[in-house]
Structure 1
Amino acid sequence: MRELNADIQRYIERGDGSSPAASSLNAEARAWLARVQGGTEASALGEEGELSATQRSFVDSIAPLARDAAQRLGVAPEIVVAQAALETGWGTRPIRRADGSDSNNLFSIKAGSSWRGDSTEIMTTEFDGTGMVSQRDSFRAYTDPAAAFEDFTRLISSSPRYREALNAGGDVRAYAQALQRGGYATDPDYVGKLARITAQIQGD
């Protein structure tokens, strides 16, 4: 519980991408965060109802890039937009560089040993099978959103781990499940979250 409180407190106090986004918190943490912020769990995550002006602006800003990426991956564009929305809190909680600038990492791709580009370190939350664990990780940094989409598309389309996610069409659950099996996300509710946000975007 101490880790949970510390993790959420960092998010509330900083809100700058150096702490985990609300979308990466488990159900208990999200409910607590929603209560603290005076809203519902769903509104804190932006996962139901009509899109707000901020959400619509985010969708519009990345729609062309998402359409290109979706075509190359064989999935519906709304799924790719939803994935970026989930990872960044609809663009309001980007992963930031040490100087505070946006890393443009719209898909929370980590910088492993094989990565040769720029990177930034932040506190993040992972699920280890028993619960939520806070840790410091290195994430890729890009010059602009287009570079992030290009790298994301290349990663998903070329890695054998994510082969089953390709050509999922509009089946967001099949796509998300394949990503999760490949190790893309550790959040046990990743499939449900992505499905809900995709439905929200499609219904707007």
Structure 2
Amino acid sequence: MFKKILFLLAIATLVSCGSSKSSRSKKTAYKPKKTVVTRKPTASKTSSSKSNSSNDRTTEVIESTSRTVVYSDVVNNYVAQFKDIAKGNMKQYGIPASIILAQGILESGAGSGTLSKNANNHFGIKCHTGWEGESVRHDDDASQECFRKYKDPAESYRDHAEFLTGRSRYANLFKLEKGDYEAWAKGLKAAGYATDPKYPDKLISYIERYNLHQYDAEVLGTNYTPITKSQPIASAPKPRPTSSGEGYYEVSKGDTLYSISKRFGTTVDDLKRLNNMSDNAISIGQSIKVK
């Protein structure tokens, strides 16, 4: 009887140990779940990273038109961006860097004009015969004229240089002194680069206002004298009237005879006749008779 009792106690002890071992085993098996829970900070870090990436998006740039007012800081930034290209073109093609930059500022609105934004065209060069590259349509002297489109502004600068060096009518320009920006500005007008009678004055004004001739001096290895003038850099254009009691309209930046004719419901030929004009050249501030 006593042996039987000892046997039962031994069995009970073994069952108790197995149960305890099983309980400990279960607790050990549960630990991975706790480990999974501790990964929450990692998930939070990932979320933070995505948030930062969203904040780094490039801000949208609102497309400007050729009538956008350009202030001095915009022009200075434009010069800083393209002065090295202009100097490189001066060395390679013989065109004064000051003239290149002044034309770029004037023709592209310091990079803010429609053509420079849409087509990287900084010099208003039209397609002309033989152009096989991309193009865009833009209202100028006539409706939807063909203008060259470039992959980047540097390509536009190079094409501008090749445009001047590759046409015989500009040959006399390259007989001028490279440091004589006034002669170059007047020579461009004489060669027919622009029909605006004030074109040379505008180029010279930009060159002297922003001391662009310093880059000519850097290429030529000569000294230059800064020009200081107390004159406004840019001013907001006057309101563009839709009509005038006196029948006149004041030309604003970006206007052409074609755009004015459309505004007042007339034709380019009628405007030229009313104003005794022999060509389509107009200038900012000019008073045009529209009826």
- Scaled to the shorter chain, the TM-score interval is 0.5 to 0.7
Q: Pick the structure with greater CA Rg.
A: 2
Q: TM-score, normalised by structure 2?
A: 0.47
Q: 2:131 aligns with which of 103, 115, 118?
A: 115
For the 8 Å contact 1:84–1:107, the answer to whether it is kept is yes
C-alpha separation between the residues in 1 aligned to 2:81 and 2:157?
A: 13
User: After superposition, what is the alpha-carbon deviation per residue over 1:134-187, rounded to whole angstroms, capped at 9, x for unaligned?
Assistant: 543211110001111111111111210111122541222321222222221111
Q: TM-score, normalised by structure 1?
A: 0.65
C-alpha separation between the residues in 1 aligned to 2:126 and 2:95?
A: 23
2:82 maps to 62
Which amino acid is 2:170 matched to?
Answer: Y
For the 8 Å contact 1:118–1:142, the answer to whether it is kept is yes
Which amino acid is 1:111 matched to?
Answer: C
User: In structure 1, the residue corresponding to 2:144 is in which secondary structure?
Assistant: strand
Q: 1:142 aligns with which of 147, 150, 168?
A: 150
For the 8 Å contact 1:121–1:138, the answer to whether it is kept is yes
C-alpha separation between the residues in 1 aligned to 2:131 and 2:186?
A: 25
C-alpha separation between the residues in 1 aligned to 2:151 and 2:186?
A: 30
Q: Unmatched 5+ residue regions in structure 2?
A: 1-62, 212-226, 229-291
C-alpha separation between the residues in 2 aligned to 1:199 and 1:16?
A: 26
2:193 maps to 184
User: In structure 2, the residue corresponding to 1:196 is in which secondary structure?
Assistant: helix
Larger relative contact order (C-alpha < 8 A, sep ≥ 6)?
1
- Runs of 4+ in structure 1 off by over 6 angstroms are none
- Answering whether residue 188 of structure 2 is matched by residue 172 of structure 1, we say no
Q: Which moved more, 1:61-70 or 1:171-180?
A: 171-180
Which amino acid is 2:121 matched to?
Answer: N
User: In structure 1, the residue corresponding to 2:101 is in which secondary structure?
Assistant: helix
User: In structure 2, the residue corresponding to 1:113 is in which secondary structure?
Assistant: coil
Q: Unmatched 5+ residue regions in structure 1?
A: 1-14, 23-36, 38-43, 47-51, 126-133
Q: 1:74 aligns with which of 86, 94, 100?
A: 94
Which amino acid is 1:154 matched to?
Answer: E
Q: CA deviation at 1:72?
A: 2.9
Which amino acid is 1:146 matched to?
Answer: A
Provide closer, same or farther for how the CA distance between residues 61 and 94 of structure 1 changes in structure 2, counting only shifts above 3 A.
farther
Higher share of residues assigned strand: 1
User: After superposition, what is the alpha-carbon deviation per residue over 1:84-125, rounded to whole angstroms, capped at 9, x for unaligned?
Assistant: 0010111111406xxxx5311111111012111111111124
C-alpha separation between the residues in 1 aligned to 2:125 and 2:153?
A: 13
Aligned runs of 1:14-163 on 2, under 5 Å? Answer: 16-17=64-65, 21=66, 52-95=72-115, 102-125=118-141, 135-163=143-171
Quick one: percent identity of the two aligned structures?
Answer: 28
C-alpha separation between the residues in 2 aligned to 1:59 and 1:94?
A: 19
- Give aligned pairs, total: 151
Q: 2:208 aligns with which of 193, 199, 203?
A: 199
For the 8 Å contact 2:165–2:171, the answer to whether it is kept is yes
